[in-house]
Amino acid sequence: MITGLDVGSTTAKIIRLDSGKLTASKVVPSHRWKELLEYGNTRNTIATAEAIGTVETPGTIQTTGTTQTMRNAQTIVSTGYFRKTVPHTAAITEITAASLGVRYYIPDAQVIVDVGGQDTKVIDLRNNTFLINDKCSAGTGAFLELAAHYFDIPVESLGKLHTRAKRTARINNTCGVFAISEMISQLVGGYTMEEVICGIHQAFARRIAQMIPPVETVVLIGGTVLNTGIVESFESIHGSTVVLPPSPQTVNALGAALYGEKLRPGQ
């Protein structure tokens, strides 16, 4: 049994692989990441919440002061921003996790764009290079959070509202702070909330498109791409074919679990 645990800045995800087969997955807000271990536990798979600590050596969970071997020795591979804080047998970066996870579904994937809560990563699998935007909120989930917060609506509803727009309010700024004042002036100028949201998605997609090398197919992953408005805007702006893996939000957790398989073949 291999567990992939992805604890990022916004959400935490878990994936279980049993002899190479995906058997369970779950997503919770990051601050509730311990629930994932309990969730696994009820399925008799993962370390108990009390045993939370760092798994330094494969097969052993290190809790404060003691090292105990788990009865059902688990391989937990963590990834995400908090990968080194949560229990793990091994920890890998989101970049490697995304590469492995996406390849599982799309073996000939070329470029991956992982839109995270606080950063955006572009991974070019053709030459194993990557770019990370973690300097500003432009092109990250935080930018959309800011817009949703302004309208006092859940961020999950942005995609649906986008589909109701009859036209697009042009938003030029991708800096969150400036974008808000631009949003306000477009609203004052007569655009509806839906049309402004559509404009926000376009600005977001333009920012991400700037980071991407010329390529035919782009694989989008991360919780943000569950927003269909983003995907639609991106497709129209970048001009490449966009592919989404079956579960774009948990693909990094899957990648972590696949890495665990490499460590512990046959588990």
Partner 1 sequence: MTDTVGITALIPPELVYACRHSPIDVNNIVPTSSINPRSKLCAWTAVWRDEIMEGQLDIDSLVVVAGGDCHNALVDGQKVALSGIPTHYFFYPFDRDPDYMASQLEGLAGFLGGIKDKEMFSNISGLKEKGLALDQLRVDDRARASDVFSALISFGDMQGDPAAFEEVLDSIPRTDVEYSSRVALIGVPPIYPDFHEVAESFGLHVVYDELPYEFVRLCGKDLQGLAGSYRNYSFSGPVTGRIDIIRQELDRRRVDGVIHYTQFACHHTLEDEIFRAHLDYPVLTVQGDLPRPSSEQLKLRLEAFSEMMEVMP
Instruction: Give me the residues paired with residue 69 across strands.
Output: 60
> Between 7 and 148, whose beta carbon lies closer to partner 1?
7
Residue 210 interacts with partner 1 (CB under 8 A)? no
Closest contact distance (angstroms) between CB of 126 and partner 1 is 10
Q: Which of 10, 74, 99, 174 binds partner 1 (CB under 8 A)?
A: 99
Closest contact distance (angstroms) between CB of 116 and partner 1 is 12
The residue range among 30-38, 56-64, 93-101, 143-151 that interacts with partner 1, by the rule CB under 8 A, is 93-101
Question: In the window 248-267, what residues touch partner 1 (CB under 8 A)?
Answer: 259, 262
* DSSP-assigned letters across all residues of 38-98: HHHHHTT-S--GGG-SB--STTEEEETTEEEE-TT--EEEEESTTTTTS--SEE--HHHHH
| Contacting residues for 5 by C-beta, under 8 A, at least 6 apart | 12, 13, 14, 33, 36, 76, 77, 78, 79, 80, 86, 87, 88, 253, 256
Residue 132 interacts with partner 1 (CB under 8 A)? yes
The residue range among 31-39, 87-95, 145-153, 218-226 that interacts with partner 1, by the rule CB under 8 A, is 87-95
Residue 127 interacts with partner 1 (CB under 8 A)? yes
Q: Which of 5, 14, 95, 253 binds partner 1 (CB under 8 A)?
A: 95
Q: Check: CB of residue 112 under 8 Å from CB of residue 211.
A: no
